[in-house]
Amino acid sequence: MAVRAELLKRFFSTSVFTSQSPAVPAAASAVNGSSVNPSPVPSTSLFVSGLNKRTTSEKLCEAFSKFGEVVYARVVTDRVSGYSKGFGFVRFATIEEAEQGIKGMDGQFIDGWVIFAEYA
């Protein structure tokens, strides 16, 4: 009878591991299950958002070239209208230049709009 009760308990339980899982302290589960974002991994590529629909790749390259050698700059555009979708990518030659680009351009204005720069 006890075996049958255990099987019914498992069958109707919402958790697969109700009795087999070890107890996890609340502090450990808060750390592991928290929504704390890890710091972004530095790279030479930047994601730039908040662009005006009239911003071009050339304008983006010109704005970021003050902080180092821009290898690649591209504004993502709509296929039909040809206007910017509001974001783009910039690649610098070194990670240090990319870091300077973020520090220098994050929160600045391009074509009248505030842009945001972060590692891609």
- How far apart CA 43 and CA 92 sit, in angstroms, is 9
- Any domain includes 114: yes
Q: Do 52 and 17 share a domain, yes or no?
A: no
Helix (H) or strand (E) holding 9: helix 2-12
**119 CB contacts (<8 Å, ≥6 apart)?**
40, 41, 42, 43, 45, 46, 47, 98, 102
Q: Do 8 and 59 share a domain, yes or no?
A: no
pLDDT for 37 equals: 62
The arithmetic mean of pLDDT across residues 12-31, rounded, is: 50
pLDDT for 11 equals: 54
pLDDT in tens, 72-95: 999 999 999 999 999 999 999 999
Per the DSSP assignment, residues forming a β-bridge with 84 are 77
The arithmetic mean of pLDDT across residues 92-112, rounded, is: 94
Q: What is the CATH number of the domain that holds 94?
A: 3.30.70.330
Which of 55, 60, 63, 56 has its CA nearest to residue 104?
63
Q: Do 51 and 104 share a domain, yes or no?
A: yes
> Taking CA 80 as the corner, what is the angle to CA 52 and CA 117, rounded to the nearest 5 degrees?
30
pLDDT for 21 equals: 47
Instruction: Tell me which residue range forms the domain holding 60.
Output: 45-119
Q: Do 52 and 28 share a domain, yes or no?
A: no
Q: How confident is the model at residue 41 (pLDDT cuts 50, 70, 90)?
A: confident
pLDDT for 70 equals: 96
